[in-house]
Amino acid sequence: MRTVFWEDNKVKMIDQRLLPGEFVIAEFGAVHEVARSIRDMAVRGAPAIGATGAYGMALAAQQSQATTRDDLLADLRRAKATLDAARPTAVNLSWATTRLLALAEATPSREVTDIAHALLTEAEALADEDVAINRRMGFNGAAVIPDGAHILHHCNTGALATVDFGTALGVVFACQEQGKKIHVWVDETRPRLQGARLTAWELMRAEIPMHLIADNAAGHLMRTGQVDVVIFGADRVAANGDAANKIGTYKLAVVAKENGIPVYCVAPTSTVDMELAHGDLIPIEERGAEEVRQVGDELIAPADTPVYNPAFDVTPHRYLTGIVTEEGVCYPPFTESLRRAKVAAEARIETARQARQP
């Protein structure tokens, strides 16, 4: 099933905070609730957050009390601001809400109900596109993974991080479909343990050989020749290829390069922000101290321990062998290859949108 979807005029999603212990479908019927689901990480992963933001905009249109087009657009702009503020690093969120708002502004009808219908149709199309994009991206990435490879993966980038299939884990699933014999080293991914809680859960359900490792074991595995390739996703990629991903990614890429191991970032073109020249311009979200001081509800440090908790770090493009997108694998110079991929993807989306027009 899909990680996030629309049903009964509500945004519904797998509540990832409860996995692997419980599988619960949470539902949200107001924009501020959808924003909270993003902020509190009931849903996470850049593509899944983007789809959630799109559904949040559709929900705002459905629930608006506006009787005029201008008033509806004002409500949608407020909804966009609320949603965008929920997680500042993942560019897919603002990309999706911008796409929905732009559609509302461009819809020729002045009827509020027509605009609301158009937004829901577009949100559903965006979710469908995500699934198709992830499968394309997965098979593009599988082409660079040798049979028998030991893959090191950080955080969670599977179906749970997208609408379905996954980004970097989508590459792993594509390798499985192709019959490649692969094995995955799964970083636990402190402090929220997305690798231990989510990636291990997904891979075990798929019956893909894997071992969970402490984050600090990755360097040992690379130095001793037990890793063939490192893959991870991204929450935002700058125009030059610098990639922001879950904290701890940068050190993996540096150690991989030291040991001659190829490193691939796997991200849809919607995650590429051509407005940012380099990664130092990417806003880095800082999260609460309790994520570091606690595991679940259990304290692992004194209750008043000072904490610094950046949720992401930036891997400079010089450490990346390539960036896998739905338009193919981009290689240096990334400024050129990413721009070509972005243009091709936008043209594909526009062609599909035109085909949906009555």
pLDDT 10s digits, 257-267: 999 999 999 99
Q: How confident is the model at residue 1 (pLDDT cuts 50, 70, 90)?
A: confident
Q: What is the mean pLDDT of the chain?
A: 96
Q: Is the pLDDT of residue 54 over 90?
A: yes
Lowest mean pLDDT among 6-10, 108-112, 205-209, 257-261: 108-112
Q: Name the packing angle between helices 91-106 and 69-84 (round to 10°).
A: 180
pLDDT 10s digits, 314-358: 999 999 999 999 999 999 999 999 999 999 999 988 888 788 776
Question: In the prediction, which pLDDT does 354 show?
Answer: 81
Q: How confident is the model at residue 126 (pLDDT cuts 50, 70, 90)?
A: very high
Residue 213 sits at φ, ψ, to 5 deg, of: -130, 150
Lowest mean pLDDT among 102-111, 150-159, 235-244: 102-111
User: Domains in the chain, ordered, with CATH?
Assistant: 4-135 (1.20.120.420), 137-347 (3.40.50.10470)
Question: In the prediction, which pLDDT does 358 show?
Answer: 64
Cβ pair 51, 60 in contact under 8 A: no
Above pLDDT 90, what percent of the chain? 94
Q: Is the pLDDT of residue 217 over 90?
A: yes
Task: Please list the active-site residues.
Answer: 235
Question: In the prediction, which pLDDT does 110 show?
Answer: 83
pLDDT 10s digits, 70-79: 999 999 999 9
Cβ pair 100, 58 in contact under 8 A: yes
